[in-house]
Amino acid sequence: TYNFRLTVRDNHLGTGCADWDAMVVNVSGSAGPFLVTAPNAPTNWPAGTQQMVSWDVAGTNSAPVNATTVDIFLSTDGGYNYPITLATGTPNDGSHMITVPNVGTNMARVMVKGGNNIFFDISNQNFTITPQVEDFTLQVTPPQQSVCAPLNATYTVDIGSIGGFNGPVSLSVTGLPLGASASFSVNPVNAPGSSVLTISNTGAATPGSYPLNVQGVGTPGMHDQGIGLIISPAPPTLIPLLSPPDNALDVPTQTSFTWQPHPNATSYAIQIATDQAFSNIVAGATGLLVPTYSLPAPLDASTEYYWRVSGSNLCGDGPFGDTWSFTTIGEACDIYASTDVPVDITGDGTPTIKSTLDLPVEGVITDLNVIGLDISHTYISDLTIQLTSPFGTTITLAGPLCDDEDNLLLSFDDEAALGYGDIPCPPTGGGTYQPLEALSAFLGQPASGVWTLTVIDGFDQDGGSLNGWGLQVCTEPVTEELTIEVTGTNESCPGEADGTAEVFPAGGTGFYLISWSNGATTNQITGLAPGAYGVTVDDGNSTASGSVTVGSPPALSLSISGTDATSGNNGAADLTVSGGTPVYTFLWSTDETTEDIDNLAPGMYEVVVTDANGCTASATVEIMDASTGDDCQPFVPTNVTTTGSTATIEWDPIPGAIQYRLRYREAGSAGPWFQEATNSTSITLEGLDPATTYEYETKTRCSDVITPWSSTLYEFTTENMTDPICMPFVPLTIDPSTSTVTISWAAEPGATKYRLQYRPVG
């Protein structure tokens, strides 16, 4: 505990007075020292920024000191005075973020003082506060607007003040679409302030996405911000219809509808009704992305229908346009009876018997009934009866029926008044009933071809026979020609075999059997290698054929060369790419993504190139250390021996050398260099021209470096081969065998090589 007393006496001569005050300071040995840790060294704080003041609490926030808060002050005169309060009552937790006031000084210090206490600490050294320069900020919200023409788009432009700036800021906008106009509710704006930007007359602009730029210009300078404007077209107006034409007659019951595309439409809706008020809509669809619609099921024959279309987009639904009418074609109905009956149903085992009926009728089915189905069989509950169309569609007509009753005679019609459950037992009265599975599964299919009635006997012992059956078929003619479009995609990369081919049939009967040259039967085939693929489509009435060729992109080809490093890491790699599908991306083993790289140290470098299809190719290059060591030098020739076509060059070994290289060409020429390499201390160059001077340079590779080419350009001259005279050799002996001939001759003076050519006589 410390006791302090302060005494004050005035300085009046002879009559001075005095006063005093005392205080007690309790000091804790378990707390402190309380120290400012930042800012505590020369630094710079820009005015207006957020900065952290930190200190060592050192136990002062707990008993016995109990200073739970601190106050923070700023001095601008080196710590003599602290007129600026940065924070008061902030928790004594060791740090606090403050906003730097706009005062310029290079003698700033911070004081952190215990709340309601006498202890404090200040920065040990002065630091600098850089005052704010007058400026303004510009912010536009929202950054992007979408509008439906002809509505307006609006943005809020906020102008903020920095450093006390309160002058005017003039606003403008660039990038407006042609036909649109812009206005500001306030212009210029005094900082701080705001204005509303309105983009109007969007109906005169072409729909699309437009980048705009809002600019503000004031005394401090210019600030801008990019914004986006998306103009969507107004909902589509009336949609012109194309087919079937208005008041058309004899229209197929399963026709297609087409209309003119509208530039503002992203989808369409169609309605088909039996009345002009569209109170009885029998078919239609919404969300159609193309201007065409095909009926999923046939309409009634000999019936008048009405149809209309509307368009939609993001801005709403357009109105339905004109209403057109058409009348469907009348149907032709005929009866065909089986001719291969009776067919025996044996009592042994569980037989399956079939009877066929080949219909010669053309057209597509509008109605189909099974008539006169006559079967003799004990326990008809053993039987299941099925019907299969020429296109392979199978339905179950009946089975099992009744119990231990015998025989059946009945007909099936989807429109029968009596349902399947109304069939009596035994069913021998010849009535007409609805089948177990609907005959409508055959509607729209071609009628012509072989129909098959199948009777399955599921139990042993009882037998009988199929005595007869027939079909009542109503059809309408096929008025649209069968056409196909065949498309394909190439394989993505050579060897991937991921090409595709697809056929799009149209017209005809609407039922298509597809046969590809590779045996596939689906509309689309995948996993294709390059080649030609043919396809035939059969609609039961006619056929159409086409083909497509699946190709392959050119293979990626990489050419890479390196420049050796001569001073540590100044090597480079130069890459050239061809083939593939641009654009290319690059990834080097150094993680660089440019085509060429430099500043390379000696070593191996790999690059992987990927094209737009995802195809890849890789290449490597070695960057050598071409810096010259003290001992590793280009070798110096010590002896050269020449003939008319060869030159042998010798030299002394270089310490540490592991390879020697030499390049040569005809002296004085600008032609290419020819290179040779060896591990020995001599090399022989062959195939030289006689009486010719050659120039050459040398290079040495040591264990860790490779020298540059020698600065000295050496020369040698081959011998003149005109003396002695070089003559063709003359055979001395010829020794033939069954399949070989050995020819010998005397050596010619100066000869270095002999040649012989031969051929059959004649």
Say yes or no: 116 and 50 in one domain. yes
For residue 86, the enclosing domain spans 35-130
Quickly tell me which residue has 């590793």 as its tokens.
632
Say yes or no: 354 and 449 in one domain. yes
Q: Confirm whether 599 is domain-assigned.
A: yes
Say yes or no: 440 and 457 in one domain. yes
Apex CA 540: angle with CA 537 and CA 541, to 5°?
Answer: 100
How much is the pLDDT for 124? Answer: 95
CATH number at residue 263: 2.60.40.10
Q: Confirm whether 629 is domain-assigned.
A: no
* Distance separating alpha carbons of residues 518 and 505, to the nearest angstrom: 18
Burial of 131 (0-12, 13-18, 19+ CB in 10 A): middle
Say yes or no: 357 and 306 in one domain. no
Say yes or no: 402 and 423 in one domain. yes
* Distance separating alpha carbons of residues 315 and 318, to the nearest angstrom: 9
On whether the CB atoms of residues 492 and 613 are closer than 8 A, the answer is: yes
Q: Confirm whether 12 is domain-assigned.
A: no
Say yes or no: 466 and 337 in one domain. yes
Quickly tell me which residue has 């003040």 as its tokens.
161
- Show the DSSP H helices in 392-455 as ranges: none
How much is the pLDDT for 630? Answer: 58
Inter-CA distances, 744 with 178, 732, 736, 748, 759, Å: 94, 6, 12, 12, 18
How much is the pLDDT for 725? Answer: 59
Q: Confirm whether 23 is domain-assigned.
A: no
Cross-strand partners of 610: 585, 616
Say yes or no: 165 and 224 in one domain. yes
* pTM (2 d.p.): 0.40
Instruction: Output DSSP code: residue 202.
Output: G
Q: Confirm whether 210 is domain-assigned.
A: yes
Q: Confirm whether 660 is domain-assigned.
A: yes
Under DSSP, is residue 74 helix (H, G, I), strand (E, B) or coil? strand
Cross-strand partners of 532: 549
Cross-strand partners of 461: none
How much is the pLDDT for 338? Answer: 94
Pairing of strands 571-578, 597-600: antiparallel
Question: From the CB of residue 326, how many other CB atoms can be counted at a distance below 10 Å?
Answer: 22
CATH number at residue 611: 2.60.40
How much is the pLDDT for 724? Answer: 54
Contacts of 194 (CB under 8 A, 6+ apart): 156, 157, 158, 159, 186
Q: What is the pLDDT of residues 218-271, one digit of tens each?
A: 999 999 999 999 999 989 989 999 999 999 988 888 888 999 999 899 999 999
Task: Report the half-sphere exposure of 719 (CA within 13 A, side-chain side).
Answer: 17
Say yes or no: 666 and 718 in one domain. yes
Of 86, 102, 130, the position where a domain reaches its end is: 130
CA dihedral 499, 505, 506, 511 (to 10 degrees): -150
Q: What is the C-alpha R_g of the chain?
A: 50
Say yes or no: 509 and 572 in one domain. no
* Distance separating alpha carbons of residues 177 and 633, to the nearest angstrom: 70
Tokens of 207: 């729909």
Contacts of 740 (CB under 8 A, 6+ apart): none
Say yes or no: 80 and 122 in one domain. yes
* Distance separating alpha carbons of residues 697 and 681, to the nearest angstrom: 15
Cα four-point dihedral sign 61, 65, 68, 71: negative
Q: Confirm whether 2 is domain-assigned.
A: no
Say yes or no: 200 and 215 in one domain. yes
On whether the CB atoms of residues 5 and 20 are closer than 8 A, the answer is: yes
Of 190, 212, 232, the position where a domain reaches its end is: 232
**Tally of domains in the chain:** 7
CA dihedral 307, 313, 315, 321 (to 10 degrees): -20
Tokens of 297: 């099921």
Of 312, 328, 344, the position where a domain reaches its end is: 328
How much is the pLDDT for 628? Answer: 54
Task: Report the half-sphere exposure of 150 (CA within 13 A, side-chain side).
Answer: 6
How much is the pLDDT for 736? Answer: 83
Tokens of 202: 């969007």
CA dihedral 27, 33, 37, 40 (to 10 degrees): 90
Q: Confirm whether 722 is domain-assigned.
A: yes
How much is the pLDDT for 501? Answer: 95
On whether the CB atoms of residues 61 and 68 are closer than 8 A, the answer is: yes
CATH number at residue 464: 2.60.120.260
Q: What is the pLDDT of residues 393-417, one digit of tens each?
A: 999 999 899 988 999 999 999 999 9
Tally: H helices and E strands in the chain: 0, 60
Say yes or no: 544 and 568 in one domain. no
Q: What is the 3-state secondary structure (H, E, C) of 581-648?
A: CCCCEEEECCCCCCCCEEEECCEEEEEEEECCCCCEEEEEEEECECCCCCCCCCCCEEEEEECCCCEE
Contacts of 401 (CB under 8 A, 6+ apart): 380, 381, 383, 408, 423, 425, 427
What is the mean pLDDT for each group of 10 consecutive residues in the chain (762 residues)? 88 80 87 93 89 94 92 96 95 93 93 94 95 88 92 95 90 95 96 96 92 94 92 91 92 89 93 96 94 88 94 92 91 89 91 94 89 94 95 93 92 95 94 96 90 93 92 84 91 92 87 91 94 90 90 91 81 91 91 90 90 91 71 90 94 90 91 88 93 94 83 92 69 82 82 80 72
On whether the CB atoms of residues 528 and 510 are closer than 8 A, the answer is: no
